[in-house]
Structure 1
Amino acid sequence: MSAKTIRDQRDRRGLLIILSSPSGAGKSTLARRLRDWDAGLRFSVSATTRAPRTGEVDGADYHFLDESAFKAMVTDGDMLEHAHVFGNFYGSPRSPVQEAIETGNDVLFDIDWQGAQQIRNSALGQHTLSIFLLPPSISELHRRLVSRGKDDAETITRRMQKSWDEISHWDGYDFVLINDDLDQTEEQLRSIITATRLRRSQQPGLNDHVRKLQSEFEDLP
């Protein structure tokens, strides 16, 4: 890590960067591209009550919890957001996110509109940047779901049915992008993140710097 990167992290607070979209609109691919662009971006590791799939590692892919442990974290305020999806609970543990933003590290969230709303309404909401990705068309959304080969026909139908509810909440986000070209959308995301890192709320040292400038004025002959 360069000296400049260390200084930049020390001089600002981290961001909670939320990417949301219906399944198939490209958020997972773009999240990976953002991590390649900036290795300092941390991906929020969600907690879930579902069973691990083959090859998944606890603490890396998900924090795998039983339902009682998950609900206890919710009750104790240790989840920034949580939801019940397709028969399982999912949520974002608060502690690692709090630590990241206090040390100037950005955290990337791949969550739905309900989770985004919960985080925006949390104590960390002022440090949130929310971005919604729209597909260029519904037919293209369906084509992408089919072509990636991850789901059976029943699951694809269920995801398509859920997509309209997700899209209907597009206006609750700071930025909305139509992802019809991955390279262009990635460039737009980079610009948005770079600019938002410079918000006043992300630069805790600004007040001290302005006071220093004021004192220098007072010392002028």
Structure 2
Amino acid sequence: MRCPRVRTSLPLESAAISVQVANTSAGVPKSLEAVKLSCVRGDRLVFEALEFTLVPGEVLQLVGANGSGKTSLLRLLSGLALPYAGTVRWDGRDVHQQRLFWHRNLCVIGHLSGVSASLTARENLAVAVALGAGGLHANVVEALGVVGLSTCIDTLAARLSAGQRQRIALARLVMSKAPVWLLDEPLTALDLDGKRLVESLLRTHTSRGGLAVLATHQPVDSSNLNVRNFQLRGVGSE
């Protein structure tokens, strides 16, 4: 049986108080750069010579059909895959030459939520904290409350809806102090309330100096976000 989802007692903007962003040192803010980035999968060129610079306070929204390279680009940015050519730079340094440093500055929500059906909501987040994923540090119970799962804390994820499992994954954002978020289809299985939650978390994150790259078929509301669309084109399927 599914447990009921309750709304947080605070407005979303206030409820996201647990989102912490690592402060950049004095001087030039840290930026995320793609420099002449190319990706090959199998014998197919997915994209080539992509370039962008993302600075604190910005959201880069990847736009394109299936097969255009959105997930592939996120994998290159995260350091999970090597580019065919070009570099990904954080704070002016190649992320593939400083992976530990980079991963300390990064929180990733993949297309697959990473939520284990055999664990409770609390246990899923406890495992993520133990693994040190995305610099997680905040209280698990508090984070689950922020994403509307305060009544589901000790419920097995297998008994939750797809949207509720996605909210468990989103709770990692609430708990993360990483300045860079990489989000692959973060709105998957979410209702309108869930979409607003994601937008609220992004607003809080960017207002505190964070930045984010997201791939989604459902564009976020950019009225209160500094969003740039980045068009990708490709053939085949990812």
Q: Same fold (TM over 0.5)?
A: no
TM-score (norm 1): 0.28
Hey, which of these two has a bigger chunk of strand by percent? Answer: 2
Hey, which of these two has a bigger chunk of helix by percent? Answer: 1
TM-score (norm 2): 0.26
In terms of Rg, which structure is larger?
1
